[in-house]
Amino acid sequence: MKTAWLVVLACFIGVSISIAPAYLTVLGLFLKPMAAETGFSRTTLSLAPSLMAFVAAICSPFVGQMIDRWGARRVAAIGVVLLPLGLLAHAMLGTSLPWFMVLAVLMGFTAAVACPLPYIGALPQWFERNLGLAIALSMTGIGFGEIVLPKLAAWLIDSGGWRWAWAMLAGTIFVVGALNVAFLFRDNPSFQARKANSGDQAAGGMTWQEAIRTPVFWLLGAAVCLVAQVGVGVMIHIVPMLTDRGMSAAAAANAVAVLGVGSLLGRLATGYALDRLNVALVGGVLFSLQGLGMLVLWYGAGGLVPHIAVFFVGLAVGAETDIIPFVTRRKFGLGQFGRIYGLIYGMFSIGPVLGPLFMGQGFDAFGSYAIVLLAFSASSFLAAACVALAGLLPVHRTAEPQGHPNTSIVKGVP
């Protein structure tokens, strides 16, 4: 039991220095100084996250296969090396636009392994009864990283400039990540030994080929893609949206913080609830709240009302990161968990590519965000229906290797 919770701590640390906190969250701090020195426009520099997310979405299923074949720890170790190298490459960025685009593509390959996928992918080996709580506690590391790393990056930029800041950030992440993988993070040795001796079916569950033929797989993938699309689109455009309505820049910026708080609470509440309630109820309610939040933003009320709306969005964003591995484990088993999780994570990763694009194009075409907000509300309610069906529909699967589904994977593990 002690080892299992130490793995949760390792997952918390790992996701706190993963691609989202260590790159996406801090990138905005670097845009102005990088644009001033390299000559790239902010629009050009902003293309990097979208291109990176697109490449990562394509690569995620292959990373899941690597986890099944090599174990989560080895895949996490690859990310621990590649992410600092990618950040260090930004410190050496010149004025060549083609090289910058190549770097964005390489960061996409990096993002596929330096993300929560290998860390969260290890938890079902260790937990059954408390899996939801373990995932939730681990995923709060993203929020921790999004608080700490931007402050560190800002201090480094002020201290030695943006190139120095990228280099020092890379070094910090490498040291923390390497120590974490070396001493804390690990696969379940009993599970890995049984799988090595008897193959995937020793762990029970479905193959990825069987999984993709089930409605549950596609319903879950569609739900999380739609929610991510809305969440990231709102996250990026909420400040200009609210300032267009006359809200001060400071008050609009507070909305981003409220969204972050909602995301953190959403992860914790969802993890606790999933261990006790059906995912159809948990996901259906929280994804519906996001749809309600979109309607509130569309209506255009002022004061604290927009902050309540983005809080609902944050709850859904936090919930989906818990729901993906939980439902994957419950519905499809452990035999090829990594591959199936990677496929669904790939569909989830398409959302952040599309959401900001739809928001921007909608505003440019209609002069406001109103039409997109209505569309996002509809897609959120559709996501709620999809995840509810995914939670209620049964799948035909190979029996678990031992014991009742509510027993531990290894004796003594929670």
Using the 8-state DSSP alphabet, how is residue 22 labeled?
I
pTM: 0.79
Q: Are residues 120 and 35 in the same domain?
A: yes
pLDDT of 365: 85
Distances in whole angstroms, Cα of residue 48 to Cα of each of 115, 149, 200, 228, 265 = 17, 19, 37, 18, 29
- 406 part of a folded domain: no
Count of domains for the chain: 2
Picking from 198, 229, 248, the residue at the C-terminal end of a domain is: 198
Q: Are residues 118 and 16 in the same domain?
A: yes
Residue 228 domain boundaries = 208-392
CATH number, position 286: 1.20.1250.20
- Dump pLDDT digits (tens) for 129-152: 889 899 999 998 988 887 888 889
- Please, which residues have CB within 8 angstroms of residue 93's CB and are 6 or more apart in sequence? 34, 38, 99, 100, 103
Token output for 233: 């689109």
Q: Are residues 96 and 234 in the same domain?
A: no
Q: Are residues 221 and 159 in the same domain?
A: no
Q: Are residues 115 and 230 in the same domain?
A: no
Q: Are residues 152 and 263 in the same domain?
A: no
Q: Are residues 46 and 129 in the same domain?
A: yes
- 225 part of a folded domain: yes
- 203 part of a folded domain: no
- Dump pLDDT digits (tens) for 190-225: 877 776 666 555 556 788 899 999 999 999 999 999
- 401 part of a folded domain: no
Q: Are residues 147 and 224 in the same domain?
A: no
pLDDT exceeds cutoff 60 at 323: yes
pLDDT exceeds cutoff 50 at 410: no
- 402 part of a folded domain: no
pLDDT of 1: 64
- 410 part of a folded domain: no
Q: Are residues 191 and 330 in the same domain?
A: no
- Dump pLDDT digits (tens) for 231-248: 888 877 887 888 888 888
pLDDT exceeds cutoff 90 at 264: no
CB 234 within 8 A of CB 307: no
Token output for 102: 């190549």
Q: Are residues 157 and 218 in the same domain?
A: no
Q: Are residues 191 and 233 in the same domain?
A: no
Mean model confidence pLDDT for the chain: 86
